[in-house]
Each structure stands twice: as structure tokens, then as C-alpha cells.
Amino acid sequence: MKLYHFVSILLTSCFASQAFGQVAAPRVGAVRYSDGSVWGLFGVSRNFVLNGQLAASTDAASFSDSGGLISIQGRIRLVGPKGALVDEYDSGEAHPVLSVTGDLTTAIAWLPTRNQFVRWNGRALVVTEPDTAALRGNVGSIDAVDAHHARAFIQATDQTVSVALISTDTGAILSNHALSYAHGPAIQQQSFVICVNDGQLEERTATRILHSLPFNHSGIAFERAGSDWIHITTSDSNDSWMLHITGSAFDLSQIPSTPQLSAGAAK
């Protein structure tokens, strides 16, 4: 049995058991750990519990409450809310950038070595090649603005950040401007930007900071774990965190290590 067929069965069975309420705590989403394993996460801020491994050895993952994108050995899989396979695309990409922010029509992937977008148009995963001459730097996060546009946050080597609006129909770069307030990774959350600036984790608009928390780490990475949850990892710590963003809430909580990672740390 090929690995991606096994993962499809595993995802479907795990998501189904979670959906039918076998865990009393509320479902938060799914998180991908440093070993590539993906786990279901339940509970509330500061009181989380893992419930079942959904996949192993993944390249990248992104989840909303409606489903997710998972890349395994370069094969990008779009799954529904119970883990059933919707579509897949063999990207050959070792480090794709994935995003699902809402329903499955928001599913989009950036393939850095191919300089391509892959998005779900409601019927199939389709490819768009943008004007890469206008995309200088590392695409750290993306999201589907609507059925015809994508937004990419691009990080330069000096940690400055710009945001580009791209037509997913033609690949044309419609706008590209610097974010003077961001110095590190940035990700869109609804109509706000989550970014790092001078040791602070911020939720903000273009003109003001809405929320801010101290977060002085290096090698920070964002990965969406649910519609209102962002999983945060760093290169200077084995710990990871969940950022909960809803209305007036901006809450950061450490999450438990997987059994494998806990065992490894104990050796």
C-alpha cells in the first residue's frame, strides 16, 4: 500500500472519530510538529490535549474548520472536514507553502521551486504561473483573497516584508508594497495581519496595533491549524504555541509535545 493511500485512510478514520464527539473537549484543529507528524488538537487556551495522529512525515500542512491541505513526499492533498480526499496534485515540492482559511475554495499552495500557485477552483486543483520577476524574496505565507486573487507575504533577506496581490487567473502582479511595520514572518488573519516586530507578536491593521504580546524568538514560522488558530514554531526552541484570534481575543498558549517528541527529549 502506497504511503499516500495509507494516509488517506488514516486521515478519514481519525477525522471521523473526532467529528462524532469521542473527545469531550472542543476541537481546536490540527497541528504539524517538527517531526512532520500531524495531530488533532482539542481543548481551550492553556488547556490543550492531543487526540490521535492524523498523518506522519508531512512536508507542510494548513487547516481551517472546513478541511485542509497536506503535503506528503511532494504530493499535495486537499481533504474535507472529516479527512476524506477531495483532490490531489503531485507537485514534487519539498517545502510548499499551504493555506486554507475558510471553505475549500480558499485552498491555495505556493510551489517555490516551480514558481507556481496551485488552487482549488471548486472542481479541481489548477495551476497558475505568476510574474515571478515581481516576486523577489521568500514567499512566507499566502491566502486566497477571493476566487480570482491571491495575497502573498514576501520576506526579504533583511527581514523586511512586502505584500503582493496576484491574479490567479492570469498570474499578473496587481500590486506589491512594503509593510513598514513588519520585520519577519507575516500572515493574514481575516482582515488583519499577524506579524513579528521588535520582539512583539502583533495583530494589526495598516495604521494601528490591535493586540500585542511579547515573543522574542528567532526562526519564527506560522502555520494555520484552524479557522481561528495559528500554530507557531521557532528555530530556537523545541516548544510550540497556538495563537487564538477571535474578535477581541488574542491569546497565546504553549501546546503539548507529541509522544514521540517527548520520548526523544527524555533520552
d(CA 33, CA 60): 10
Burial of 16 (0-12, 13-18, 19+ CB in 10 A): middle
**Residue 31 in contact with residue 38, Cβ under 8 Å?**
yes
Distances (CA, A) of 97 to 15, 27, 100, 263: 23, 24, 11, 29
Residue 135 pLDDT class (50, 70, 90 cuts): confident
pLDDT for 56-104, tens place per residue?
Answer: 889 999 999 999 999 999 999 999 988 899 999 999 999 999 999 999 9
Residue 232 pLDDT class (50, 70, 90 cuts): very high
**15: which residues sit within 8 A by CB, 6+ positions away?**
40, 54, 79, 81, 82, 83, 84
Top pLDDT among 131 and 48 is at 48
230: its cell numbers: 495559528
Q: In the chain, how many domains are there?
A: 1
Range of the domain at 106: 3-266
Residue 174 maps to which CATH number?
2.120.10
pLDDT for 99-125, tens place per residue?
Answer: 999 999 999 999 999 999 999 999 999
d(CA 163, CA 124): 27
Distances (CA, A) of 221 to 17, 19, 82, 169: 30, 28, 26, 29
pLDDT for 143-173, tens place per residue?
Answer: 999 999 999 999 988 888 999 999 999 999 9
Q: How many residues does the chain have?
A: 267
Residue range 27-53: average pLDDT? 90
* The one-letter amino acid at 158: D
Strands 108-111 and 97-99: antiparallel
Top pLDDT among 160 and 2 is at 160
Query: Taking 60 as the threshold, does the pLDDT of residue 265 lie above it?
Result: no
Strands 186-189 and 173-183: unpaired
d(CA 227, CA 202): 18
pLDDT for residue 263? 56
Residue range 187-201: average pLDDT? 93
CB atoms within 10 A of CB 249: 12
Distances (CA, A) of 47 to 117, 197, 232, 241: 37, 27, 17, 12
pLDDT for residue 256? 86
